[in-house]
């Protein structure tokens, strides 16, 4: 298979995905909505927990105990909890860096 465009940011997390749901039946639609609501709730919970912690090492994954709490609370797999934790940690660290930059400009 020949790709038309080369991926420039191959090591980065993909933040946007397009799904075309024209031929979706009602059962699959409900399953998808349930999954997305579960993902959103677990991500918001993880972001709020990470936001309250001060020392977050950005180079390593979250502790197993941290992801175990997420997977038990929302009844998801450990791998899915790690993905949620990774995205939440990236969001929190980027917002902290952004606020540091803004505070430096305001001084």
Domains of the chain by residue range = 26-106
Residue-wise pLDDT tens for the chain (107 aa)? Answer: 555 666 666 666 666 777 778 888 899 889 989 999 999 999 999 999 988 887 676 667 788 888 999 999 999 999 999 999 989 988 888 888 887 777 766 65
Nearest Cα to Cα of residue 96 among 66, 45, 54: 54
Give the C-alpha separation, 43 to 61, whole Å: 15
The whole model's pTM is what? Answer: 0.71
Give the C-alpha separation, 48 to 33, whole Å: 22
Nearest Cα to Cα of residue 61 among 52, 72, 74, 70: 70
């Amino acid at each position: 298979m020949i790709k038309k465009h080369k991926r420039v940011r191959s090591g980065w997390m993909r933040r946007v995905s397009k799904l075309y749901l024209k031929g979706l039946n009602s059962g699959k639609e409900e399953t998808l909505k349930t999954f997305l609501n579960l993902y959103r709730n677990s991500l918001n919970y993880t972001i709020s927990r990470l936001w309250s912690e001060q020392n977050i090492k950005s180079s390593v994954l979250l502790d197993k105990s941290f992801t175990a709490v997420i997977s038990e609370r929302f009844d998801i797999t450990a791998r899915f909890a790690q993905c949620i934790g990774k995205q939440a940690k990236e969001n929190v660290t980027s917002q902290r860096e952004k606020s540091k930059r803004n505070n430096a400009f305001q001084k």
